[in-house]
């Protein structure tokens, strides 16, 4: 029989472990999530903000990762505008070890054929580029440039600049712009980016602030959606596209990994129906890869989930259930 080993004093193990882990955690978080002095997550600005488009079939492409809510905005807008045969899509995958997006080299039409990763691609498009290599990207095959890498701009460009080929409705109508812009501003700060502010907070105070703003807005939006089908009334707009991509990730990812857990979207009577309603619109379910969302958030945000274990639940059958919102 093996003789029992002398145990290390638990206090020492705990103190050493905490010191090592906290040092590592702050180092990794400062790379992944730049913070203000108060520990609040501060998202870097997008660098490519071009708006010059000459629409032609297959000239432009989007680079997207299926788990990314910002990239998802562009896929939905492309689907709602009927631009699938005009604007191409190239999908990238997160590398678990390298903290960057990778191309699938078997995909025939990667621009700059020999690029393996998105940072290489950004540098091929602009050799002195030093910022983050993020999705989505709107690129131009003809000029071999990145036109824009800010999802808020790209969805406006998809809405307007491809008119000769678009079949879908105007998602940013002139008359509704002030309302859409106002909603976008609040929803971006407290919901779209708000969930990241909860998950990437590096102090309790920063988390408390972000989480209370997040749920205050969700409560307000639930009330708003009690009497109208979409955020601006009977017709879906870009404000809905932007809210939807956060809501669909909420219960499966943000509620757990980002600690956005005062409530689930499933617990909100109107937001839950609204989510199902948009999910069931033609072309939308094809843009949603919920398993990729779970896999990438839980599997790749190492500092938030070092074991990389992906939870089993929750199910998302509710998205396919009747919602009755056509009556509104
Ligand atoms: N402001 C950008 C944000 C895009 C963004 O943060 N994308 C993430 C994926 S969800 C990304 O590609 N991150 C890679 C990195 O930061 O290195 C937008 O809305 O387009």
Tell me whether residue 68 is one of the annotated catalytic residues.
yes
What is this structure's pTM? 0.95
For residues 138 and 150, the answer to whether their CB atoms sit within 8 Å is: no
Residues 6+ apart with CB under 8 A from 11: none
Tell which one of 31, 92, 135 to mutate to probe ligand 1, the residue whose CB is within 8 A of the most ligand atoms: 135
- The full set of domains in the chain, from first to last, is 60-160 (3.40.30.10), 174-327 (1.20.1050.10)
Mutate to test the pocket of ligand 1, among 91, 134, 187, 195 (most ligand atoms within 8 A of CB): 134
Residue 150 labeled ligand binder: yes
Ligand 1 neighbours by CB, cut-off 6 Å:
46, 68, 70, 132-136, 150-151
Please say whether the beta carbons of 103 and 116 come within 8 A.
Answer: yes
> What is the Å distance from ligand 1's center to 271 Cα?
25
Q: What are phi and psi of 140, to 5 degrees?
A: -125, 115
Residue of the nearest CA to atom 14 in ligand 1?
A: 134
Q: Is the dihedral of CA 255, 256, 262, 263 positive or negative?
A: positive
- What token pair was written down for 288? 């949603």
Distance of CA 45 from the midpoint of ligand 1 (Å): 10
pLDDT digit string (tens) for the chain, length 328 residues: 555 666 777 888 888 888 888 888 888 887 777 788 888 888 888 999 999 999 999 999 999 999 999 999 999 999 999 999 999 999 999 998 888 999 987 776 777 777 889 999 999 999 999 999 999 999 999 999 999 999 999 999 999 999 999 999 999 999 999 999 999 999 999 999 999 999 999 999 999 999 999 999 999 999 999 999 999 999 999 999 999 999 999 999 999 999 999 999 999 999 999 999 999 999 999 999 999 999 999 999 988 999 999 999 888 889 999 999 999 9
Determine whether 115 is an active site residue: no
> If you take atom 19 of ligand 1, which residue's CA is the nearest one?
151
Q: Which residues pair with 91 in a beta bridge?
A: 64
């Amino acid at each position: 029989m093996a003789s029992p080993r002398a145990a290390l004093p638990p206090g020492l193990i705990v103190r050493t472990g905490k010191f090592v882990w906290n040092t590592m955690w702050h180092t990794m978080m400062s790379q992944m999530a730049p913070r203000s002095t108060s520990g609040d997550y501060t998202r870097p600005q997008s660098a490519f903000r071009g708006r010059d488009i000459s629409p032609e079939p297959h000239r432009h492409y989007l680079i997207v990762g299926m788990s990314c809510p910002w990239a998802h905005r562009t896929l939905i807008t492309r689907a709602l505008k009927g631009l699938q045969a005009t604007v191409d899509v190239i999908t990238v995958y997160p590398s678990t070890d390298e903290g960057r997006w990778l191309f699938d080299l078997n995909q025939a039409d990667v621009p700059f054929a020999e690029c393996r990763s998105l940072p290489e691609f950004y540098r091929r498009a602009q050799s002195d580029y030093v910022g983050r290599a993020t999705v989505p990207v709107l690129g131009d095959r003809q000029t071999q440039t990145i036109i824009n890498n800010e999802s808020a701009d790209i969805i406006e460009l998809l809405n307007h600049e491809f008119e000769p080929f678009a079949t879908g409705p105007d998602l940013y109508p002139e008359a509704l712009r002030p309302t859409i812009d106002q909603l976008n501003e609040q929803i971006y700060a407290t919901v779209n980016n708000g969930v990241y502010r909860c998950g990437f907070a590096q102090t309790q105070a920063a988390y408390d602030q972000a989480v209370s703003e997040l749920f205050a807005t969700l409560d307000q939006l639930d009330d708003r959606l009690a009497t109208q089908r979409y955020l601006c009334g009977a017709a879906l707009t870009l404000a809905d596209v932007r809210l939807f991509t956060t809501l669909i990730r909420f219960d499966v990812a943000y509620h757990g990994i980002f600690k956005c857990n005062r409530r689930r979207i499933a617990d909100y009577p109107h937001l839950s129906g609204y989510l199902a309603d948009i999910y069931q619109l033609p072309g939308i379910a094809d843009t949603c890869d919920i398993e990729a969302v779970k896999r990438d958030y839980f599997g790749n945000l190492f500092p938030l989930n070092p074991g990389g274990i992906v939870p089993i639940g929750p199910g998302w059958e509710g998205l396919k259930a009747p919602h009755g919102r056509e009556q509104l």
